[in-house]
Structures are given as structure tokens and as C-alpha cells.
Structure 1
Amino acid sequence: MTIAIGSDHGGYELKLEVIKHLKDRGFEVTDYGCDSTASCDYPIYGKAVAEAIAAGKQDLGILICGTGIGMSMVANKVEGVRAALCSDCFSAQATREHNNANVLCMGARTIGPGLALMIVDKFVDTPFSNDERHVRRIKMFS
């Protein structure tokens, strides 16, 4: 499984921890930026990851900013992307099972790194249920 990841300056340090964690687990990770804690514009990186997912270049995406809100708003503007802002493990699991979310958004200023890594694990390890009701509902998104 390939994973696209991006952040702004507020999520940069957590992004580095997530990348290391995912690589240690054997995932192929592509970093779409940013590359420091210097102030930057989160839509650039949110859009880059979302477009990679929509184009089928990566299987899943992870976006991290201060709250995760801005990244989720940007990513969900890209057709074919189902980005979910998660701050707990149950939501990460449920959004994969029920919504077939393909982008996880998190806030580095709202959750700690330990919880963030648990959320990432739930997200990448949980498959879509393929239940007819969930497939039907996802088709209603557009």
C-alpha cells in the first residue's frame, strides 16, 4: 500500500513522526511537503495529496495541519477524495469501514503523537466494509 502525506508548518514535526512510523511498518510513503516549520500555505500541500489520491497515484493520504480542519476542507474539494478529520481511533476505523475515506486529516495541535500514531494505524489497517448500504450512501456524495 502506498501512502501520500503532507502537512503545513503546524503539522510538520508530527508528519515526520508519522512517516517514520509508517516506513517502520513497511509502507511506501511519499511526502508531498512542506519541508520545515517555516510558515506556509496549507492548501498547497492539501491539494497536492488530494490530487495524488484522486489520480490513483497513491492508495491513501494523510494530511496534518494545526487543527486538521483546513486540510480536510481543501482535500474534500477534490473530486473522488473522501477526507475525514479524526481525533480518535473509533472515528478513524468507522470512516474507513463506512465512508471508504481515502484521506486522513489530523491536527497536530489538538492530539499528541502517541494518539496520532494509533489513529494512523486504525486508518491504514481498516478496510472498507463494502456493505451495500455504505456503497449506496457514498454514491450519494456527488
Structure 2
Amino acid sequence: MDWYSWLSKTSLDQTLIYEYGLVFNRNELQKEDLIYFNHEFLLSMGIIVAKHRLEILKLARKERGGTISSSNGLSRLVLAINKTKKLISKNFNKLSFHRASTHLALSELKPCPTQWTRALTKLNNNKNSVSWV
């Protein structure tokens, strides 16, 4: 696809149109990939300025006929799953380390009587001292 011609329909500066066209070509995007365009997708390719992403998304929406495709929802789901995977893997090491340190700390504890043990002892002593008159 000729991304330069396509992006020329936006109000972006010519140098940005050329730059973003190169980005789309380097990522081997085709016209049918327009349905997957969203802010996160464009940002992941290096289009940092939000206004530029908006201009591209408006043009992509016009190209699709103004409808929001269900596959766009699917791409959001895939992005959410990927983010969740990253968060889980990022925090897994912390969790493993926390469990290991907790295990060591618990094994070093010395047994001591608890409040319940003391309370039961008092209760038994009181029962034995009650006199039935």
C-alpha cells in the first residue's frame, strides 16, 4: 500500500507523513491491517504525539466506512491478555522471593503459648475451683 498517499489525506505535516509512511512500510503493514489501528498500536510503532495518532485513526475510520469492527475489539482483548501476561511474569519473581523469605522467617520462629492456650488454662482452673453448694 502507498502509505504516503494515504497519509496525505490527513492534516499532518509532509515530513511527518513521510516519516510515518516509512514506519508503516518497515512494519510491513497492509490496507487490511487498518482495522487493528488503535492508540496503543500506533504508540507501539513510535507515533508518540496523541494528535498525530488521532489524525491517523480518523482517516482509518473513514477508510473502514466509519464502523467499529468487531476485530478491533478482538485486538483489544489480545492486547489486554498480553499486558496481563507481562504483569504476571514481572511480578512472579517477586512472589517467589516473598514466599521463600516468609518460609525462612516462619521456620526460625520459636514455639510459644498463644492467647488461646492461656485462656483455656484459666478456664480449666476456674472449673476446678468452683464449689457446688
Structure 2 length as normaliser, TM-score? 0.27
Q: Which has the higher helix share?
A: 2
Q: Which has the higher strand share?
A: 1
- Identify the structure with bigger relative contact order (alpha carbons < 8 Å, sequence gap 6+): 1
Structure 1 length as normaliser, TM-score? 0.26
